Structure 1
Amino acid sequence: MVRDLNSILEPGMLVRHPEVPDWGLGQVQSVIGPRITVNFENAGKQLIDGSRITLTPVFD
C-alpha cells in the first residue's frame, strides 16, 4: 500500500518521484501525516500527497 511505503520516510532521507524523474534526487524535509515536503534538485521544494504518490527511497 502507498501509506506503508511512505511510512518509512524521515527528514533527511533521499527519494525520487516515480512519475516525474526529471525532478531528480530529492531530500525529505518533513513528513506530517500524508503530507511529505521534499526538496528536489531540479524542482525545488514540493509538497507531495503521500496518500496518492509513493516516493521511491534511495539508499545509495
Structure 2
Amino acid sequence: MIDLNAILTPGARVRHPQMPDWGIGQVQSNIGGKTTVNFPEAGKIVIDGTRVELIWVVDDE
C-alpha cells in the first residue's frame, strides 16, 4: 500500500475520514509522519500518519 500521507505538501486540501464535520482542511506541514492540518471547523490538528490516512480533495466535493 502506498502511504499517501507521506507525499502531502503544504497547501494540499484534505478530509479526515472519521471526522467529516471538520470540513476540508489545508495541510500546513508534513514532517516525520506528522501532518499538521488547519480544518475550518476544528482548527489546527496534528495527524499521526501511521494511524489516519487523510483523503486528498481534488475539487469541491
Q: Which amino acid aligns with 1:44?
A: G
Aligned residues: 59
Structure 1 gaps of 5+ residues are: none
1:20-39 map, 5 Å: 20-39=19-38
TM-score w.r.t. length of structure 1: 0.91
- Deviating beyond 3 angstroms after TM superposition, the runs of 4 or more aligned structure 1 residues are none
RMSD value over aligned CA atoms?
A: 1.1
Instruction: Percent identity, please.
Output: 63
Name the residue aligned to 2:11.
12
TM-score by length of 2: 0.90
